[in-house]
Amino acid sequence: MSSFRHAGTVLTDHRFAVPLDHGDPGGARIEVFAREVVAADKAERADLPWLLFLQGGPGNGAPRPVGRESWLDRALDDYRVLLLDQRGTGRSTPAHRRSLARIGDAAAQARYLAHFRADSIVLDAELIRRELAGGAPWSVLGQSFGGFCATTYLSFAPEGLREVFIAGGLPGLTATADDVYRATYPRVAAKNREHHARYPGDAALAARIADRLRDHDVRLPNGTRLTVPAFQSLGLALGAGAGGHRLHYLLEDAFEDGLDGPELTDTFLAQVERRLSLTAAPLYALLHEAIYAQGRGSATRWAAGRIRGEFPEFDPDERPLSFTGEMIYPWMFEHDPSLRPLRETADLLAERDSWPMLYDPARLRGNDVPVAAAVYHDDMYVDHGLSMETAATIRGLRAWVTNEYEHDGLRAGGRHVLDRLIALVRGTA
C-alpha cells in the first residue's frame, strides 16, 4: 500500500487477491487494484463513509484524477472514495491479447472471461468492502455499465449497501441484447439527424469520405485498411455531450489536395486510428454484448450486427451515410490489430448459450436501500424506455429524468449531477 498527494487530496493504492471464480474460492486467484481518494483536510477522519465508484465500460479502468476534478469534487465533501479497476482493467490482473494467450486456447480464454461480468465484479467489491470498511455497508456510485453493476449489487448483495447513486446506467432487467439494439438503433438514427441539422455540410462530407473508402485502398497509419463500416462506427461520439462537435472537427480536416486530386489527410487518418482502437480496452469488445446475457438460451450471436439488418438506413451504401453507435461487430476483430488474436474467443463468447443471472426483479421490488438514478432522456447508449421500466421496478428508487445531459453527464456536469443524486437520496430534492 502506497500513498501520494495531489492538490487537496491524498491518494492511497490498494491491491486485493480475489478468486477468479467466486464459486470456487480455493481455486485460481487474480488481483484487483483500487485507489482510495480522500480530501486532504479529512484524511485522518476514521468515521468518513466510503463511496465505491464503478466505472462505465465494460472493460475500462477507473479514472485517474488530478486533484478534485469533475464529480469527485462533490464526492470528497462527504466521502472517502474508492476508484475500482474492475477485474481485467487498469492495474488489476490484465485481460488482453498477450495475457489471455497465457491462459490457453480460445475455449480456455472464453471460459476465463466468463468470470469478468457484473456478478463477479460485485463479489469482488464485497470482499474489498469487508476488508476496508470493516463489514459496514458503503455507498456506491455507478456510471453507465457501473450502474448495471450497481443494479446487480442491489439484486444479490444489498446488505453491503448504504445507498446507491446511478448515472446513465439503469439496465433493462430482462432485456436481451436483441431488445437493446432494437431500442438503440432508432436513437442512433435520431442522433444522426440532429447532427446533420446542426452541421448541414457534414452529410456531404461524410458521403465523400465513404465513397473514397469504398473506391480506394485507404490505410490507417498502422497499416489496417479503413472501411466504410469502420468509418461509420465513429458515431460512438454522438452519444457524448460534446461528441458531435468533435466529430465535425474531425470531418472538416479530412481532405487535402494531393498529386492526383483530393486525398485523405494524415491528420484525419491518425485521429481515426486512435478513436477506433480498442487496444486499451479489449474487454469492451469481448464482453460488450455479454453484459445483456442471462440464463439459458441467452447466446447473443453478434446481436448488433444481426439487428442492424432491420435498419436499412445504416447500410454503408445508403445516403446520407448514417454513423453507428455503441455497437460491437465481428469485423472489429479483424480491423483492430490488438483484437485479431482474440477473434475465435469472441466468437465463442457470442455463442455461449448459458450465462448466470445478473438481476433479481423480485428482490428489487422489495428493495430497502435508498437509490437515486439520473436517467438521460436522449441517451444514445442506454435506452430511456428500458431504464424507466427498471426505475419502476426498484422499490423506493427516485429517478431524475433530464435532457440537460447526454450519457457522459456525470463527467461533463461536474458537481451538479452527483449533488442532485445525493439530494434525492437524502430527501432534500
pTM of the predicted protein model: 0.97
User: Which pLDDT does position 331 carry in this prediction?
Assistant: 97
pLDDT in tens, 107-135: 999 999 999 999 999 999 999 999 999 98
Please measure the distance between the N-terminal and C-terminal CA atoms of the chain and give it in whole angstroms: 39
Q: In terms of Cα–Cα distance, which of 94, 236, 86 is closest to 150?
A: 86
pLDDT in tens, 229-266: 999 999 999 999 999 999 999 999 999 998 888 999 99
* 144 part of the active site: yes
Q: In terms of Cα–Cα distance, which of 381, 409, 352 is closest to 57?
A: 381
Q: In terms of Cα–Cα distance, which of 128, 116, 123 is closest to 16?
A: 128
pLDDT over threshold 80, residue 389: yes
DSSP 236: G
pLDDT over threshold 80, residue 35: yes
User: Which pLDDT does position 15 carry in this prediction?
Assistant: 98
Instruction: Give the fold, CATH level 3, of 2-174+359-426.
Output: Rossmann fold (3.40.50)
User: Which pLDDT does position 4 carry in this prediction?
Assistant: 79
In the chain, which residues fall in CATH 3.40.50.1820? 2-174+359-426
> Which is higher by pLDDT, 302 or 1?
302
Q: Provide φ and ψ at 61, rounded to 5°.
A: -70, 165
pLDDT in tens, 50-77: 999 999 999 999 999 999 999 999 999 9
Catalytic residue among 379, 383, 387, 408: 379
- Overall size of the chain counted in residues: 429
Amino acid at 211: D
DSSP 94: B
Rounded mean pLDDT, 300-312: 98
pLDDT band at 92 (very low <50, low <70, confident <90, very high): very high
Between CA 419 and CA 135 the distance in angstroms is 26
DSSP 226: P
Catalytic residue among 195, 196, 335, 407: 407
Rounded mean pLDDT, 137-150: 98
Catalytic residue among 92, 120, 144, 387: 144
Mean pLDDT of the chain: 97
pLDDT over threshold 90, residue 354: yes
Between CA 290 and CA 29 the distance in angstroms is 22
Between CA 418 and CA 355 the distance in angstroms is 33
